[in-house]
Amino acid sequence: MVLPQLAGRAELNMASMDPKLEEFLSDAPVFLQPWWLEAVAPGRWDYVTVRKGNEIAAVLPYSFKKRLGWTFIESPANTPYLGPWLRTTTAKQAHRLSEEKELYSSLIESLPPHAHFHQNFHPQVTNWLPFYWKGFSQQTIYTYRLADTSDLDAIWEGMRENIRRNIRKARKTLTVESNDDFSTVLALHRMTWKRQGGEFACSDEEMFRIFKACRKHGAGKLLVAKDAENRAHCAAYFIWDRTALYYYFCGSDPSLRNSGANALIIWEGIRLAAGLGKIFDFEGSVQEPIERFFRAFGACQVPFFALTRTKSLPAVALREVFRRLRAVRK
């Protein structure tokens, strides 16, 4: 089966985007914004929309890849959350759920032809039943969040003692600065992967696109923990939207792991979230040691959903072959 070619939003000219769509997305998470999608999937993204009269009622952003005629709709690389975004409503609960079902169903039916769909929905999406009724399957994943960062003393007291001890230890020898040297966090991140026996699959070009896009839109900050010899122990890149700040990208020098820099960097990120009046989102991890570390900061476990629908098993098998080939080349 050969599916029709899809035109990416960049090919359609971002400047021509409907102003109503931009306004509708103004409160949406950063990962749903057109500039983010262009950074992570240049020329390979778009939205399906549902309108009520002249007004937009719901959107579903997506990116796509073509493999030997098969179309795969999926979350772009380096995008932790995606999923639908609905208009704000003050309707009663029963009416709200009815409207969600209607809008989600319309979004699903508006998707272009595809062999396979996979997205991690943003934690704000709590109702996936309309997708289940349309043949989607779901896996629950967890992130950790500090929903209220206004009281830093309370957060400090809620952390495990070993985390507080590491932060106090790091403060004695390290200083945390903000700069635009994104190559530092990239180098440290690759060191972290190497220590764990793997290799980071994304190119520097891909990651710098994200950094430059966030800088252009005032949505990110790089923090680096250094010692008196100007050695970078740990660095992290935080990004944010109107409601949350995300612990997005980090790395540390394996030879300097005992300095407590990792805990200090996260604490400074929490303080940044507090200054901006935002939720702090650790973005979670399925790796047990990382999950244990995040949990030690006293954050609450928050579920989010990975939605999948397969229409062609041969196409999915082909996708897995390409994924493994890419891993070998890396």
pLDDT of residue 40: 96
60-101 confidence digits (pLDDT tens): 999 999 877 889 999 998 999 999 999 887 677 778 899 999
Residue 283: count of CB within 10 angstroms of its CB:
15
The model's pTM = 0.88
Q: Do the beta carbons of residue 188 and residue 234 sit within 8 Å?
A: yes
- Considering the domain architecture, whether residues 91 and 157 belong to the same structural domain is answered as no
> How far is residue 256 from each of residues 225, 238, 243, 262, measured CA to CA in Å?
11, 22, 34, 10
187-216 confidence digits (pLDDT tens): 999 988 777 777 777 888 999 999 999 999
CB-count exposure of residue 289 (10 Å: 0-12, 13-18, 19+): exposed
- Considering the domain architecture, whether residues 217 and 127 belong to the same structural domain is answered as no
- Considering the domain architecture, whether residues 31 and 126 belong to the same structural domain is answered as yes
CA 330 from chain centre, in angstroms, equals: 23
Give the CATH number, domain containing residue 257: 3.40.630.30
More confident residue, 297 or 15: 297
pLDDT of residue 143: 95
- Kindly give the interhelix angle for 161-173 and 261-276, rounded to the nearest 10 degrees: 100
How many structural domains are present in the chain? 2
Q: What is the mean pLDDT of the chain?
A: 88
Helices marked H in the chain: 19-24, 34-40, 93-110, 129-132, 152-158, 161-173, 182-195, 204-216, 261-276, 288-295, 313-329
Residue 8 domain-assigned (yes or no): no
pLDDT at position 323 over 70:
no
The two tokens of residue 38 are 């262009």
- Considering the domain architecture, whether residues 126 and 163 belong to the same structural domain is answered as no
Percent of the chain at pLDDT > 90 equals 72
233-254 confidence digits (pLDDT tens): 999 999 999 999 999 999 999 9
